[in-house]
Amino acid sequence: MLTSPISKWDDAAAYFTFADNPTMIMGILALSAVVVAASIIFGSFHEKECYMKVTKNGH
Amino acid sequence: MVGSSFETACGVFDGERWDMEQQLADLAAKLAALEKSTSMAGTINSEVFYWWCIALMIVIHAGFLAYEMGASRAKNVLASGIKNILAFAFIVPTFFYFGWWIYLAFPDGLTVSDAAADGLPWAAKMGPNLADNATGIFWGAFALFAATTASIMSGAVIERIQMTGFIILAIFLGSVVWILGASWGWHPTGWLTAQFGFHDVGAAGCVHLIAGTFALGVLLNLGPRIGKFNPDGTANDIGGHNMPMTVIGLMLIIVGFFGFLGGCIIYVNGGQWTNIYGQPATLSAFSFNTLMGFCGGLIGAWVKTRDPFWMMSGGLVGIISAASGLDVWYPPLAFLVGFFGAFTAPIVAKLIEKAGIDDAVAAVAVHGYGGLWGVVACGLFAAGYPNMNDMPPVSLTGQLVGAGVFAALGFLSGYVLSLALRIFGLLRVPANSEILGLDKTKVPLSAYPEGLKALPAE
């Protein structure tokens, strides 16, 4: 995948991957934020399940 | 003959002048190259300095990790560790999404500054950029300050908070609340310094006071651990499973504080250091007063309690107490300010316990009270120091205003958010899981499979 916004180093400034492609930048940013939020939600489900198991097992 | 000699002489002169002009041009080019090279060396030195400050601030996190795990009972030790690590893990990305933007956006209060555009997560400065050696390294240092605030809260709530609720609280404290306070009072043009001359060089207010009062707000909704208080209201001592680990953890926090405080001074390329407000400062001043405050704190807490846990916590209180005026104290005064803070912090912790609040590691007393004392002490003993650009000088009134704003910001946000989490059932673990132990409930490992056994459930 060609992701470089530059073809030479002379006068280069922002050179991170997709720096010249706002659509991709927003897409990757949104995806990473969704991963963060989804991880918290996933963790919450796991946690609730663990508490229910303890209750079910009579502890 | 004369004419010929004159013409020859003129020719020689022209030649010499041409040579001299050429030499001057070469010299100017060399000078420009040298200036460029020196400037770049300064820029890279600055990056290197903050890079290692960040590394040392990660040691703070390692310290809090050891501290919390040691202060937990064996049945909760791994769950406490996971909680602490996840605070770090979730704060860094969220600080990228909105934390840095908040810092740049709100120095005037609640209106968005033009400079905020540089902190948007899609801005050209928010990633590798050969024209900007500063943003990433400052963002990193501030992200680590953010992680420190969450660690402060993390220790107070061990052994009974839900992970989900804790992560939400940590993100809110680390990537929203403290950084909003920093924008107001730990920024060259923050309204607290611009209007009141607020002075808090070492972040006693925006980091420690805010995190400590935030933790207090959370503790009120979270409630005490089962078994902490008797029906008559008297408190039981719930000891951690590994006091040596706790003490070592505190010492690691102290080591990390040298990175934290290093991150509080601004490297000026080709000029004197400044503090966060742009006032001239030296790292030497920080060295004098951090060490003197630290030792004042150690001794103050030792005199008061004879307890190694409190000695090390007292050392921390000593540094926090001296932090606001770290750039200006006469070192023995920093010692005394640290001594007083640490001598009185155990009394504050006792009062909090008597009020029925279970703060497992005395975070409210160490950071909340220590931060409050640090900010106020700067107003009591360092009034009159001039500010920049016609902004007001340091004063007791300015320090009290700043302390009040930070305490209210921390407490109210912690209380309201934890109340909402409690209403939605995301704050406290069920009683049976708390009694069984959080490791057995949700961690797929045993902390000490061959050795230390957890005490029977109570």
Helix H, strand E, coil C: the string for B27-79 is: HHHHHHHHHHHHHHHHHHHHHHHHHHHHHHHHHHHHHHHHHHHHHCCHHHHHH
Any idea where the domains of chain B sit in the sequence? Answer: 38-442
Of A13, A29, A50, the CB nearest to B129: A13
pLDDT at B449: 85
| Cβ contacts of A13 on chain B, cutoff 8 Å | 124, 129-132
Weakest-pLDDT range from B69-78, B189-198, B444-453: B444-453
User: With bands split at pLDDT 50, 70 and 90, how would you rate the model's confidence at B15?
Assistant: confident
pLDDT computed for residue B204 by the predictor: 98
CB pairs under 8 A between A and B: 68
Task: Characterise A21 by phi-psi region: left (phi > 0), alpha (psi -120 to 50), beta (else).
Answer: beta
Contacts of B435 in chain A (CB under 8 A): 59
B13 burial (CB, 10 Å; 0-12 / 13-18 / 19+) is exposed
Q: Cβ(B317)–Cβ(B294) under 8 Å? A: no
Asked if the C-beta of B422 comes within 8 angstroms of chain A's C-beta atoms, the answer is no
CATH assignment of B38-442, given 3.40.50.410, 1.10.3430.10, 2.40.30.30, 1.10.10.10? 1.10.3430.10
SS (H, E, C) B206-224: HHHHHHHHHHHHHHHHHCC
Cβ–Cβ under 8 Å, residues B406 and B173: no
Residue B451's CB is within 10 A of a number of other CB atoms, namely 8
DSSP state at residue B280: B
Residues 130-159 of B with CB under 8 A from A: 130-132
Tokens 């590798």 found at: B128
pLDDT at residue B75 is higher than 90 = yes
- Does residue B306 contact residue B287 with C-beta atoms inside 8 Å? no
Closest-CA residue of A relative to B444 is: A50
> Is a pLDDT exceeding 60 seen at residue B357?
yes
What's the whole-model pTM score?
Answer: 0.93
Tokens standing for residue B321 = 């107490």
Tell me which of A4, A44, A52 to substitute to probe the interface with B (most B C-beta atoms closer than 10 Å): A44
Chain position carrying tokens 């706790």? B246
| Position B16 confidence tier, pLDDT thresholds 50, 70, 90 | confident
Residues of B in contact with A25 (CB under 8 A): 122
Mean of the pLDDT values across residues B224-229? 97
| Percent of chain B clearing pLDDT 70 (strictly above) | 96
Say if the ipTM goes beyond 0.85.
Answer: yes
Confidence of residue B301 (pLDDT cuts 50, 70, 90): very high
Kindly state the average pLDDT of the residues B154-182.
Answer: 97
User: Residue written as tokens 């704060």?
Assistant: B91
Mean pLDDT over B19-39 rounds to: 93
Q: What value does the mean pLDDT take over residues B74-102?
A: 97
> Does B429 contact A at CB distance below 8 Å?
yes
The parts of chain A modelled with pLDDT lower than 50 are none
Q: B6 pLDDT band (50/70/90 cuts)?
A: low
CA B378/CA B182 separation, integer angstroms: 17
CA distance B125 to B141: 16
Q: What is the pLDDT of residue A50?
A: 96
Report the distance separating Cα B46 and Cα B37, nearest Å.
14
Beta-carbon count within 10 A of B247 CB: 18
Map tokens 């640490």 to a residue.
B342
Residues B308-347: tens digit of each pLDDT = 989 999 999 999 999 999 999 999 999 999 999 999 999 9
B433–A32: do the CB atoms touch at under 8 Å? no
Q: What is the pLDDT of residue A40?
A: 97
Q: What does the pLDDT look like over B378-395, one tens digit per residue?
A: 999 999 999 999 999 999
CA distance B85 to A12: 37
On whether any CB of chain B is under 8 Å from the CB of A33, the answer is yes
Question: Which residues in B176-239 belong to E strands, given as ranges?
Answer: none
Q: What is the pLDDT of residue B445?
A: 87
**Where residue B350 falls among pLDDT bands split at 50, 70, 90?**
very high
pLDDT of residue B71: 94
Q: Do B441 and A13 touch (CB under 8 A)?
A: no
Residue of B nearest to A43 (CA): B164
Rounded to the nearest integer, the mean pLDDT of chain B is 94
Question: Å from A46 to nearest chain B CA?
Answer: 8
Query: Could you give the dihedral angle defined by the CA atoms of residues B7, B12, B14 and B19, in that order, rounded to the nearest 10 degrees?
Result: 170
Q: What number is the average pLDDT over the span B423-434?
A: 96
